[in-house]
Amino acid sequence: MKNRKPNNLHIRLYGDKILREVAKPVIEFTDDVKDFIADLVFTMYEKDGVGLAAPQVGRSLRIFVVDPFWFNEDGKKNPLVLVNPEFKEFKGDVDSEEGCLSLPKIFESVQRAESVIIEALNEKGKKVHYEADGLFARALQHEFDHLDGILFIDKVPKLKRIFLKKKLHDLQRTTDENGRNIGEMPL
C-alpha cells in the first residue's frame, strides 16, 4: 500500500440499487481493499457520520466503519473497521431515533437490540471481538444491515412508513440511476 492521501467518496442515496444488494465477503486484503478502507474512514468523518458501510459508497463489500464516540470526545477519532462481520449475540430491545447518510433529512425511531456481541476482521485482517451497548450497539446493527441491503426505514412500523412515502419519493426523484444527487430535496 502506497502512502497516499485518502479520498472523500460519494455517498449513494436512497434509490440506488446497490443499497438493496447483499454485499460480497472480502476474500483478500489487497492494497485496493486497504486503500478503500482508508477512504471509507476518511469519508465517514468528512460527512460527520457515526458509521459508514461499503455499499453506501458504491462498493459491494462486507466492510463498514464506525466511531460512535467521536462527537462526545472533543473530536478524538477512534475508527473501528469491521470486515466480514458476524453477530454472535443480541440482548434486549430499545427504541431510538436513527438517521442515515444515504437518507438525508429522514429520522425515525427504530427498535434494535440493546446490546450485541460481534466478531469481524479489522483493517489488518486480524480477528476482533466487540461487546457493545447504547449508541455503539445501534451503530453496529445499522451499518451491518447495509451489508444485507437493509435500510433503517425498513424497520420502521408499517403505519409510520406510509407517512414516509412522500419524503422517500422526493429523495428518489433527486437521485439518478448511479445514486448521484441530481437535485435538491424539497423541505
pLDDT digits (tens, 9 = 90+) for 71-90: 666 768 889 999 999 999 99
pLDDT digits (tens, 9 = 90+) for 96-126: 999 999 999 899 999 999 999 999 999 999 9
* pLDDT for position 179: 57
* pLDDT for position 2: 61
Is residue 10 one of the residues assigned to a domain? Answer: no
Q: Which of 98, 108, 123, 143 is catalytic?
A: 143
Write the single-letter amino acid at 12.
R
Residue 84 domain boundaries: 17-173
Is residue 12 one of the residues assigned to a domain? Answer: no
Is residue 3 one of the residues assigned to a domain? Answer: no
pTM for this predicted structure: 0.89
Which one-letter DSSP state was computed for residue 61?
B
pLDDT digits (tens, 9 = 90+) for 28-72: 999 999 999 999 999 999 999 999 999 999 999 999 999 988 766
- Distance from C-alpha of 68 to C-alpha of 146, rounded to nearest angstrom: 17
Q: Are 52 and 63 in contact (CB under 8 A)?
A: no
Q: Which residue has the cell 467518496?
A: 9
pLDDT digits (tens, 9 = 90+) for 2-36: 678 999 999 999 988 999 999 999 999 999 999 99
Q: Average pLDDT for residues 154-168, to the nearest whole number?
A: 86
Total domains, the chain: 1
Is residue 45 one of the residues assigned to a domain? Answer: yes
Strands (E), 2-114: 51-53, 63-66, 80-91, 94-100, 103-112
* pLDDT for position 185: 45
**Residues forming beta bridges with residue 100, ordered by sequence position:** 103
Is residue 183 one of the residues assigned to a domain? Answer: no
Q: Are 171 and 14 in contact (CB under 8 A)?
A: yes
pLDDT digits (tens, 9 = 90+) for 127-138: 999 999 999 999
Is residue 143 one of the residues assigned to a domain? Answer: yes
Is residue 43 one of the residues assigned to a domain? Answer: yes
C-alpha cell, 44:
465517514
CATH number at residue 95: 3.90.45.10
Walk across the sheet containing 51-53 and list its strands: 51-53, 63-66, 80-91, 115-121, 127-133
Q: Average pLDDT for residues 167-187, to the nearest whole number?
A: 64
Is residue 128 one of the residues assigned to a domain? Answer: yes
* pLDDT for position 186: 41
21 catalytic per annotation: no
CB contact set of 162 (below 8 Å; sequence gap of 6+): none
